[in-house]
Structure 1
Amino acid sequence: MQQIKHGGRRPRPSSAPTIIAAMLCVVALVAAGTAWWMLRPQQKDTLEHLAQPQSSSSTLNRDKAPTPKPQEHQKAADDSPAAKASRAIATMSLDERAGQLIMAPMFAGGNPADLSALISTRHVGSVVLIGNWNNGTAAAKTAADALQSYAPSGNQLIVSTDQEGGQVQHLKGSGFDTMPSAVAQGQMSADTLRSSAKTWGGQLKQAGINVDLAPVLGTVQVKRSSNAPIGALNRDFGLDSNGNAQHGIAFVEGMRDAGVGATVKHYPGLGAVTGNTDFTTEGILDTTTTLDGEQIGAFNTTIKQAKPAMVMMSLATYQRIDSSAPAAFSSKIIDGTLRGSVGYDGVVISDSLSAAAVSGIATKDLGVRLVDAGGDLACIGDTSYVTPILDGIIARAQSDPAFAKKVTASAMRVMTLKYQMGLAK
């Protein structure tokens, strides 16, 4: 505390009362000062806050803090095909999900309008063009466009055909090359076949086709002329298991290069039977194919390396794998082997469920048995089968929650493929 001077003169001594009063004043001043000092920071902050424009204060605060990155607050939306499919499935009714599991036939010379109710009302999600379509790419495109017009714009149809080459080429005429048989394709180098498949796929794309139900990967195990479904028609590449796999990979990749999905068929192979499953119930028991044999090996190699859009299941029965059911209805072959051991998680399609091979099974149960075994898409070659198969799937799902989950899983795989191919949005 500083001393107070008065003109340099020494002050007179104060009396006791004066001194006491002075001391009391000093104490009061000190107490007041202390109280003011203790309150000062809060008051100063409040005043500064009131004096500072609010917008400026906010700006200053923003400038001091680093701008947060979006991922620090929320995870970016998953835009993978599987995630999009999951969101789409979540909004679908059971009827809509079941409809995605049906591939209905469109015959050459038929009227696309005949399928309009199945597509728009029953939610059928796929169509196969079959028969002798001889009027070129323009006519096929007109039919495909008409069929697509019945489907929701955000969930277009898978439109397929059997375009293998040789005796199995459903679309011909202007704009389509005459494709050599698969045996002749087997004589090409893998690179040449891939290039050719890209050309053939481009022609399908121009015709509105987005999936080819080819190639055939069966490795013939018996005399070719006695192997009615494959060897007798030169539908295979005519090579050993490894050669068939390499050419299968080339075909699948060539189609993909053109923007068309490919389907390897008929898993696990029709190279060891004598009967054609389309037309007979005789000679369709395979007694030699095993899970580690060369016939199934051609498929497994192609599936693992080329990842085709679909795998078509055979309607033959395989005694040494599962003698209880045709491959299309065998959970051991589909879920246990194809999905389990091989690791394929794509769309599993049946061979035609209107074929003679499965004529002894009630129509309403055909789709149910496919889905129950782990399959997804019921390919149908007779229009009259479509409604009973679809109704059968729905009825079973309504009464069986476990089966309803399988319907959802199958619809997920079909929708994932559609998102992958740009058919769904």
Structure 2
Amino acid sequence: MRLACHGRQGLLGIALASVLCACAVADPTHPAPVSAPPGSPSPAASTAGLSSPTSQADESSASPGSCLAAASELDLDEQVDLLYMGAITVTTASQASAQLAAQQVGSVVLMADPGGARATGELTAALRAADPDLLVAADQEGGQVQRLAGPGFGAIPAASSQAALPTGTLRAQWGMWGGQLRDAGVRYDLGPVADLVPAANTAANAPIGQLGRGYGATRTDVVANASAVIGGLHDAGELSSIKHFPGLGNVTVNTDFGVAHDTVTTSDSPEVDVFADLAARTDSVMVGSVVYDRIDPQNPAIFSPDIITGILRQRLGFDKVIVSDDLGAAAALADYPVASRGTSFLRAGGDLALDVDPLSVAAMKADTVRTARSDPAFGAQLVTKAARVLALKHSAGLVGCQPAESRERTRADPIPQQPASAP
């Protein structure tokens, strides 16, 4: 989104005290959810104690479609701003503000470690000063994937070690680690990993098994442990994103460094069932860049309508935000033109295009705007996508989805700011 008042016209620069939207935005082109796979927890069990960070009172006050109405009031450029997550790759507040201004996005992921919670809080405070409704994310898993460390951040063990803890203890630990993120101004953790890596493939599996990023070698273990992580994050007021749909467990190549093919997984494999079990609990799902030869051999998952729309939206009935894995720097996408990658992901059914290269964000956004103007059907889909992102941001305590007149009445209200330094 644009700087100062959150939009080019300031439509969404409103007081946090007045947020009233917590709607799950359904797409009328997608059928209702199917029943859970055999052996899955019941829907009641799936969501018990695992509500998103927004309070039940806020959820009950939202009218269905309010986020959709708010998104429809935005112009095309503002909608596209919402649909991109850029990156902050610098470590000082002034540099971060400049980098945000160059990208003009509604959310960012912190890709550099400022050096502890206090410095991170100062950086995120500067970002919030530029855009009070900016959603700040981090890639905080543990082990070799802990983006933010230093004083004020606990040392998080690898997921394979976390999995040895009782689930109640694991949830409590993530409540603490999530609280540290929130105190530092981070509202969205791009985790937990939900990839089911078969025991026989652990040693050969470069992206998950070799790095200890997995929560178990069975569907039951992964679901139980990932649920505890999500629960702990929600206890701390943090959003979650399970990844990397439809699962990296049957590959050997890490898509950060090369093209990966999965010759095993089908649309009803146990690896997919894990995501079905967790769909009701998480706030979003991240789609990976592997090519699944038995589902869609022509496209990586991140660009595949068969996978994103056909399986995740339609078969699993997932109606919340679908976020991409990195579109900017991943070697797996080297053969695809950079500028069109975000548009290809959105066309396939995704909502939030993640680009960890700040220098390519503008080109991706421009391509999406051009495509939407030349293809009215695609342009119309962006409203629903923007509405889902607005609902996600509301869950983080940010923007609301009131009618325009309500936003006008509250625009002058003060927006509370978190302290720049963590306790």
Q: Give the TM-score normalised by structure 1.
A: 0.77
Structure 1 residue 274 corresponds to structure 2 residue 249 = no
* Counterpart-to-counterpart distance in 1, 2:294 and 2:164: 32
Partner of 1:182: 159
Q: 1:167 aligns with which of 144, 152, 158?
A: 144
Secondary structure of 1:392 counterpart: helix
User: What is the aligned-residue RMSD (CA, Å)?
Assistant: 1.5
Q: 1:144 aligns with which of 104, 124, 132?
A: 124
User: What does 1:355-374 correspond to in 2, within 5 Å?
Assistant: 355-374=330-349
Q: Deviations over 1:183-216 (max 9, x none)?
A: 0111111111111111110000001000001111
Going from structure 1 to structure 2, the CA distance change for 1:114 and 1:81 (only over 3 Å counts) comes to farther
Structure 1 residue 324 corresponds to structure 2 residue 298 = yes
Is the CA contact (8 Å cut-off) linking 1:81 and 1:419 kept in structure 2? no
Q: 1:101 aligns with which of 83, 86, 91?
A: 83
Aligned-residue offset at 1:292? 1.6
* Counterpart-to-counterpart distance in 2, 1:371 and 1:275: 25
Is the CA contact (8 Å cut-off) linking 2:251 and 2:261 kept in structure 1? yes
What is the letter of the counterpart of residue 204 of structure 1? L
Aligned-residue offset at 1:341? 1.3
Aligned-residue offset at 1:113? 2.2
What is the letter of the counterpart of residue 69 of structure 2? R
What is the letter of the counterpart of residue 364 of structure 1? A
* Counterpart-to-counterpart distance in 2, 1:207 and 1:117: 21
Aligned-residue offset at 1:361? 0.8
Partner of 1:130: 111
Aligned-residue offset at 1:420? 2.5
Is the CA contact (8 Å cut-off) linking 2:201 and 2:249 kept in structure 1? no
Is the CA contact (8 Å cut-off) linking 2:201 and 2:250 kept in structure 1? no
Name the structure where helix makes up a greater proportion of residues: 1
Q: Give the TM-score normalised by structure 2.
A: 0.77
* Counterpart-to-counterpart distance in 2, 1:260 and 1:420: 9
* Counterpart-to-counterpart distance in 2, 1:181 and 1:250: 15
Structure 1 residue 84 corresponds to structure 2 residue 59 = no
Partner of 2:6: none
Q: 2:202 aligns with which of 224, 231, 243?
A: 224
Is the CA contact (8 Å cut-off) linking 2:191 and 2:240 kept in structure 1? yes
* Counterpart-to-counterpart distance in 1, 2:63 and 2:190: 22
Q: Which protein, 1 or 2, shows the higher relative CO under an 8 Å CA cutoff with sep ≥ 6? A: 2
Between Structure 1 and Structure 2, how many residues are aligned? 337
Structure 1 residue 299 corresponds to structure 2 residue 275 = yes
- Percentage identity across paired residues of the two chains: 37
User: What does 1:330-409 correspond to in 2, within 5 Å?
Assistant: 330-354=304-328, 355-409=330-384
* Counterpart-to-counterpart distance in 2, 1:327 and 1:261: 23
User: What does 1:3-152 correspond to in 2, within 5 Å?
Assistant: 79-80=61-62, 83-109=65-91, 111-118=95-102, 122=104, 124-133=105-114, 135-151=115-131
User: What does 1:240-279 correspond to in 2, within 5 Å?
Assistant: 240-279=218-257
* Counterpart-to-counterpart distance in 2, 1:116 and 1:336: 34
Secondary structure of 1:335 counterpart: helix
Aligned-residue offset at 1:82? 5.4
Going from structure 1 to structure 2, the CA distance change for 1:82 and 1:349 (only over 3 Å counts) comes to farther
Q: Larger Cα Rg: Structure 1 or Structure 2?
A: 1
Going from structure 1 to structure 2, the CA distance change for 1:208 and 1:162 (only over 3 Å counts) comes to same
Aligned-residue offset at 1:310? 1.3
* Counterpart-to-counterpart distance in 2, 1:158 and 1:81: 23
Partner of 1:55: none
Provide structure 1 residue ranges, at least 5 long, that are not aligned to the other structure. 1-77
Is the CA contact (8 Å cut-off) linking 1:137 and 1:174 kept in structure 2? yes
* Counterpart-to-counterpart distance in 2, 1:118 and 1:260: 27
Provide structure 2 residue ranges, at least 5 long, that are not aligned to the other structure. 1-59, 401-423
Secondary structure of 2:65 counterpart: helix
